[in-house]
Amino acid sequence: MTKHRVIFAFLFLLAAMPGGRALALERAEVPEKYKWNTADLYADDAAWEKKKEEVAAAIPRLAAYQGKLGLSAGGLYAALEDLMALFQDLNRLQVYAGMRSDEDTRVGRARQMNQAASDLGTKVYSATAYLDPEIIAIGKEKMAGFLLAEPRLKPYVPWLANILRWAPHTLSAAEEKIAAQAGLMAGAPENAHSAFTNADLPYPTVKLSSGKEVRLDAQAYTQYRAAPDAGDRKKVFRAFWSKYSEFETTLGTTLNALVNTHIFYRDVHKFDSCLEASLFGSNIPVAVYRQLVADVNENLPTLHRYLKLRQRILGLEKIGYEDLYSPLVKEAELSYTPEEARDLVLKAAAPLGPQYTADLKRSFDERWVDFMPTTGKKPGAYSTGVYAVHPYQLQNFTGIYEEVSTLAHESGHSMHSLLSARHQPYITSDYKTFVAEVASTLNEDLLFRYLLSRTSDKAVKLSLLGTRLDGLRLNLFRQTLFAEFELRMHELAEAGEPLTGEKLTGLYRGLLKKYYGDAEGVCAVDDLYGIEWAYIPHFYSGFYVYQYATSAMAASLLADRILAENAAGPATDRRDAYLKLLSSGSAKEPIDLLKDVGVDMTTSEPFKAAMKEMNTIMDEMEKLL
């Protein structure tokens, strides 16, 4: 989304340095009210260590169920209850360790905890590798008899059905154990990328036109790429990406290693492609992914229309890729404190009902959110759920509007996790990303509409409309560019071509120039910016980002319907159907969950609706101008 330069009210959270330079404070200097309360998970690290040893000691007990799952319905139920309890403990251990590491990636002890939790997970999953093959061996017919004989198995029905769906891609117990043990290596590329870019990469320092010196780490780059001065923006971009380019070979090696793990998984589990292997878990047809890429490529003129409008508003002779994050309307500088951001997110979520907003307020009051950027903290933002506890959020909040929107986004994830855990047993409490990003993106949409409906100021209205447009640009076009890059680099590797850093940069550069109309003179893309792929951590998640685009489409349709119903009153059918989706976890397939609320993602209709919204907003902005 478009960033807005701010005069941040929380200057006490920055340590002023000679010459006007500011550096983020150490974590210990941040007030407790802005830190997440990890004591809800474990009282301290010692308690975590104790539980870790208990889980490790229980691994032999897990292995003892091997060969017995198909003997009786009662035996299957007892085994699953024991196994799931231990999986739940493991999840809590891993979340706590990950959060500790993310607080300060420089701390060796926290990294060791995170690695120990990951290793423990590999051991647990290796010891239980027999689980899926034995359930598959039971077969549909015998399993139906088990379900009749043991009613307590009912909560496991969706999970068991999903395992049986995997039959063609599941190996023998011994082979699955080897594949699980390979998981020790599968996380290495992502871990190496994260450690290098967060802790070891020597970020550059630039001097802005104001005389201020800025060290361009990930958080500072995100802030200063929105500088109001075009020269500063170009300076920030060139310094940041030049530094990444120095490590093109190293970062290309890590991403190539990641793709090789995907090819290994594809081959071992007998899929036709890495894409099919990735989408199979959520039961999403490959055609949905490819249709998205095709739809976006066919609608690049809509993106180009917006880029020309942005150029006009900014008064630029020519627009460049480095101009995409600057504020559209300088008179509409928007600045927020964490408290103001929380209040806005709560008010915007009101159409989702009083219980939803009460739960959301509780998340803020009880410190489920870690707000402030600090030295060494993991950049970006996320929400992670913990069954029978509550979700947690990591933020890096500096007060710009985009980060208020990010708070709304991650709060959508958190409430999804909370409602799912409240209404589902552990085995179906998790949900697929395909619907997860609907929950988050819808909250962003509600925030935008709330603010827009409460201003008559032309500058602010233009700014909000521009922000919404750039949000659609990011979610629909930029994320699909990422998705196409992932698809093309996997196809190259599957054809036997090595993925060097240079080759990845060339592939990414070509897509940037195509999407942003470089050859047509729409938006100039410097060749240097082809290294941007090395900065995107989502590529290490594997065919993940396309769901931001599909979710943006679904969320826009749902927001329209919920707000229309709320305005008409007193019916709450659409809202209640949406809340039911949030409460359903994985009890149904994600495609079917969306169909239940009237959104069919197997068609191009949601994308067409999103394009209509983009063009309608541009029409309104042109009238205001």
The residues annotated as belonging to the active site are 410
Beta bridge partners of residue 215, listed in sequence order: 205
What does the CA dihedral 255, 258, 263, 264 come to, rounded to 10 degrees? 150
Q: Decide if 508 contacts 481 (C-beta within 8 A).
A: no
- Show the beta-strand stretches assigned E in 349-452: 369-370, 382-384, 392-394
**The 3-state secondary structure of 197-244, one letter per residue:** HHHHCCCCEEECCCCCEEECCHHHHHHHCCCCCHHHHHHHHHHHHHHH
Contact 565, 574 (CB under 8 A): yes
Cα angle 411, 413, 416 (rounded to 5 degrees) comes to 110
One-letter amino acid of 618: M
Which segments within 345-440 are labelled E, that is strand? 369-370, 382-384, 392-394
DSSP state of 526: -
CB 301 within 8 A of CB 565: no
Structure tokens at 303: 């993106």
Q: At what angle do helices 479-494 and 286-298 cross, to 10 degrees?
A: 120
Residues 6+ apart with CB under 8 A from 33: 367
With contact defined as beta carbons under 8 Å apart, do 2 and 473 qualify?
A: no
Residue 394 to residue 444: CA distance in whole angstroms = 17
Among 268, 230, 242, which residue's Cα sits nearest to residue 534?
Answer: 242
Cα–Cα distance between 584 and 582 in angstroms, integer?
6
Alpha helices in 269-299 (DSSP H): 274-280, 286-298
CA–CA separation, 288 and 487 (whole Å): 13
For residues 129 and 179, the answer to whether their CB atoms sit within 8 Å is yes
Task: With residue 22 as reference, give the H or E element that holds it.
Answer: strand 22-24
Count CB-CB contacts under 10 A for residue 484: 23
Rounded Cα distance, 252 and 258, in Å: 10
Region class of 385: left (phi > 0), else alpha (psi between -120 and 50), else beta: beta
